[in-house]
Structure 1
Amino acid sequence: MKIIIRILMLALLLQSFQCEDDVLPTNITPEQLDAKKTEITDYINSFSCANSSGCNSIAFGAKPCGGPREYLVFSNDIDLPTLQQMVNEYNNLDDAYNIQINAISDCAIVNPPTNIGCVDGVCTIID
């Protein structure tokens, strides 16, 4: 009897760790990715900064080997949960597109920017 209870408990525990599958389109086009990126950059550009401490960055895109393609910089005045949701949607689409076309990449690590500044009210990566 104890074995049956343990098996049932184990089965319930394993079911609780199942992930929900996000349904992604199966025929993603480069134009869809471009349109989504434009939507995100337009949203970011609708906010201005007053000084360098008012800027931040977010990982953007999905390289086939893993990691972001680039980093976008934005003003801290932005609604961060909205931006994160938009970027997560894009990253998931980009990842699905990579799988769809069997993409490969150089697998180089793209590091976050170390020097971000506010130039004429726009957050900018300064090299």
Structure 2
Amino acid sequence: MKTKILLICFSFLLLSMQCDDENHSGITPEMLDNKKQEILDYINSFSCAEASGCNSIAFGAKPCGGPREFLVYPNSVDQVTLQNLVDEYYDMDNEYNIQTGAVSDCMVVTAPSNIDCVNGVCTIID
């Protein structure tokens, strides 16, 4: 009888020490969405002019390598700040891919070849 009680108590102890996914401190889709929105808000706080022009930056991390997409931005942004924000997002996205065992189509995403300033906003021209 003592053995059974001891075994039950030990089982409860082991169960209470297991990791719970809800308490996991990993990257969540909401965290990625918030970081992306922070970056887009930063980019959108600047406007372009024909003289200053626009550029693109690789963004995100596909599970099998390469960027998920390219963001366009006016050259008037502080490019060091933008690069730091994009690098932070890349690290988060890469960690999320590892944590979830994500897979992707592995297709190469290329930088846009034709970007123009349209009404003060950098736009990809098809």
TM-score normalised to structure 2 length = 0.79
**Residue 89 (structure 1) shift:** 0.3
Moved more, 50-59 or 68-77: 50-59
CA contact (8 A) 1:73 1:125 kept: yes
Q: Verify: 1:35 aligned to 2:66, yes or no.
A: no
| In 1: Cα distance, 2:25 partner to 2:107 partner | 27
| In 2: Cα distance, 1:54 partner to 1:117 partner | 7
Write the deviation string for residues 42-63 of structure 1: whole angstroms up to 9, x where unpaired.
0000000111761000000000
* Structure 1 ranges of 4+ moved more than 2 A: none
CA contact (8 A) 2:115 2:123 kept: yes
CA contact (8 A) 1:62 1:91 kept: yes
Aligned to 1:6: none
CA contact (8 A) 1:115 1:126 kept: yes
CA contact (8 A) 1:71 1:112 kept: yes
Moved more, 51-60 or 31-40: 51-60
Instruction: Map 1:88-127 onto structure 2 (within 5 A).
Output: 88-127=87-126
Aligned to 2:53: 54
Q: Secondary structure at the match of 2:91?
A: helix
Rg (Cα) greater in structure: 2
| In 2: Cα distance, 1:26 partner to 1:62 partner | 20
| In 1: Cα distance, 2:53 partner to 2:25 partner | 39
Structure 1: which 5+ residue stretches go unaligned?
Answer: 1-24
CA contact (8 A) 1:52 1:118 kept: no
Identity percentage of aligned residues:
67
Residue identity in the other structure for 1:42: D
The alignment covers a number of residue pairs equal to: 103
Residue identity in the other structure for 1:43: Y
TM-score normalised to structure 1 length = 0.78
Write the deviation string for residues 7-50 of structure 1: whole angstroms up to 9, x where unpaired.
xxxxxxxxxxxxxxxxxx95110000000000000000000011
